[in-house]
Amino acid sequence: METAELFSQAGVELRIEHLTRIYRGRVTSHTALQDVSCRFSAGEVAVIEGPSGCGKSTLLNLIGGVDHPDSGRIMMDEQEVSGALSEAALADYRLRKVGFVFQSFNLIPGLTAIENLALPMRFAGMDRDRAHKRGEAILDLVGMGAKRANTSDDLSGGEQQRVAIALALANDPPLILADEPTGNLDSVNAQRVIDLLISLAKETRKTIVVSTHDPSIAPRGDSLLRLRDGKIVEQQ
């Protein structure tokens, strides 16, 4: 199956406008993001770089509809996705419009690689045979076709992350959010994962946003956003 057949949804433009997120406790509060505004173009690899606790994960969670901002808005093309959608609409947005890649891989233990991929496609209404056929093609694309019958316990960290990237692509979302995707990998596998994400952006025309604390990854993207203490300190 050709890449063009697998992925019909091209990337989207993201506009983040004056985004603020404050986590409030009983006694104290923490401002995770303060008045953040930026734009990510369709089909690009955007890198968000900064130390732990600077707001990278918070920003990705807000874009992905996992969390809600206190103020500001997020636009995917012409659709607002921050606070304007019902919980049901947000769940559908996360299922069909956003693919997530996490540092901890987030594969379901005991399921094979192909079963992990088939699961979100079945949730989206695809029949079993079509989901497995599509899953096999995506695993081939990320170089994991030969390991489709392996569970996560039988895969190395680099292999698990490749399957996790395939999982993010399962429902053909226009947007991929990768939160510290190399954090649990050695330097060789880290570079391989970044190479894969960049090549997939070009082949599939997806918009891919990668967060990292590793400054060596920053130059690999098409654009760069540096965060410190919840604020933008540099945009390129």
Concatenating the DSSP letter of every residue in the chain gives --HHHH-------EEEEEEEEEEE-SS-EEEEEEEEEEEE-TT-EEEEE--TTSSHHHHHHHHTTSS--SEEEEEETTEE-SSSS-HHHHHHHHHHTEEEEETT--PPTTSBHHHHHHHHHHHTT--HHHHHHHHHHHHHHTT-GGGTT-BGGGS-HHHHHHHHHHHHTTT--SEEEEESTTTTS-HHHHHHHHHHHHHHHHHH--EEEEEES-TTTGGGSSEEEEEETTEEEEE-
Kindly state the percentage of the chain with pLDDT values over 90: 67
* Confidence category of residue 22, pLDDT binned at 50, 70, 90: very high
The pTM (predicted TM-score) of the whole model is 0.92
Mean of pLDDT over the chain? 91
Cβ 112 vs Cβ 149: under 8 Å: yes
Parallel, antiparallel, or unpaired: how do β-strands 231-235 and 223-228 relate?
antiparallel
In this model, does residue 1 exceed pLDDT 70? Answer: no
Q: How far apart are CA 176 and CA 11, in angstroms?
A: 9
* Overall average pLDDT of the 189-205 stretch: 87
Parallel, antiparallel, or unpaired: how do β-strands 223-228 and 175-179 relate?
unpaired
> According to the model, what pLDDT value does residue 148 have?
95
Q: How far apart are CA 174 and CA 192, in angstroms?
A: 22
> According to the model, what pLDDT value does residue 107 have?
92
* Overall average pLDDT of the 14-35 stretch: 94
In this model, does residue 79 exceed pLDDT 90? Answer: no
Cβ 54 vs Cβ 227: under 8 Å: yes
> According to the model, what pLDDT value does residue 5 have?
79
| Topology at the third CATH level for domain 3-235 | Rossmann fold (3.40.50)
> According to the model, what pLDDT value does residue 201 have?
87
CA terminus-to-terminus distance, the chain:
36
The sheet with strand 223-228 has its strands ordered as: 98-102, 175-179, 207-212, 45-49, 223-228, 231-235
pLDDT in tens, 92-145: 999 999 999 988 888 999 999 999 999 999 999 999 999 999 999 999 989 999
